[in-house]
Amino acid sequence: MAVLINFKICDNAKECGGIAVCPTGALSYNDEKESIVIDNDKCISCGRCESECPIGAIMVARTDEEYDKLKEEIDNDTRTTKDLFVDRYGATPLSEFFMIESVDIENKVNNDGITLIELYNDDSIQCLLKSIAIKDLTKDLPKDTLFYKAEATDNILEKYNVNELPSLLVFKKGKILGNIDGYYTVDEKEKLLSELDEILQK
């Protein structure tokens, strides 16, 4: 009958899994509009796209009632893609408190403990359900370990030798010990933890 996308939380990526599995072309990416577009005349409500979306942004309605209900649900959704990003490493939402400006990094890491700073840019935003929870990332670290996120600038990338975003910068007592570049999924948790451990042994 119809497919709906909650664009309030959808990251509108060309690589959308829903587009990839749609057998009829009802979902496609329009380069001009830089957006996923829906052609409901082609949708057969097979539901394949729905199960591809890890954040539940794609919904398939099989009746008019269902369509109205889902539409209302989307209209009333107060979340944004930014909310999902803020959650990126967290099973529970992290507050805005964790978001800092890259110019503030030096001030934030200037303490006696460990501080993790995640650098990101818009292209490095990944879905919440595929990422590693911050509580897991820091489970073996001291309780006073701090964690912040900052949008990367060219200066910062150069300063900390970052090759790929997102990048996790690891500081101890104000000094950079190292960084882990690139996106890690839950399957790679152990690898990420062992890299982090190696950096902290320095």
Q: Please identify which residue in 12, 28, 35, 45 interacts with ligand SF4, judged by CB under 6 A.
A: 45
Q: DSSP states of 131-197 as a string?
A: SPPHHHHTTTS-TT-EEEEEE--HHHHHHTT--SSSEEEEEETTEEEEEEES---GGGHHHHHHHHH
Q: Please identify which residue in 28, 29, 47, 55 interacts with ligand SF4, judged by CB under 6 A.
A: 47
* CA–CA dist 153, 101 (Å, integer): 10
* Spatial CB neighbours of 75, under 8 Å, sequence gap ≥ 6: none
Pick 53 or 193: Cβ nearer ligand SF4: 53
Residue that is written with structure tokens 């670290």 in the block: 141
Q: Please identify which residue in 44, 91, 103, 186 interacts with ligand SF4, judged by CB under 6 A.
A: 44
Under 8 Å between Cβ of 92 and 154: no
Pick 62 or 175: Cβ nearer ligand SF4: 62
Q: Please identify which residue in 60, 125, 169, 192 interacts with ligand SF4, judged by CB under 6 A.
A: 60
* CA–CA dist 200, 76 (Å, integer): 45
Q: Please identify which residue in 9, 10, 16, 27 interacts with ligand SF4, judged by CB under 6 A.
A: 27
Choose one: 39-47, 110-118, 132-140, 160-168; the region binding ligand SF4 (CB under 6 A): 39-47
Q: Reduced to 3 states, what is the DSSP secondary structure of residue 198?
A: helix
Provide the edge-to-edge strand list for the sheet that holds 167-172.
99-100, 146-151, 114-120, 167-172, 175-181
What is the x/- site pattern for ligand SF4, positions 5-24, by CB under 6 A? Answer: ----------------xx-x
Distance of closest approach, residue 185 Cβ to ligand SF4, in angstroms = 24
Q: Binding residues for ligand SF4, how many (CB under 6 A)?
A: 14
Pick 44 or 186: Cβ nearer ligand SF4: 44
Pick 49 or 170: Cβ nearer ligand SF4: 49
Is residue 121 a contact residue for ligand SF4 (CB under 6 A)? no
Under 8 Å between Cβ of 160 and 167: yes
Which residues contribute to the site for ligand SF4 (CB under 6 A)?
A: 3, 21-22, 24, 26-27, 43-49, 60
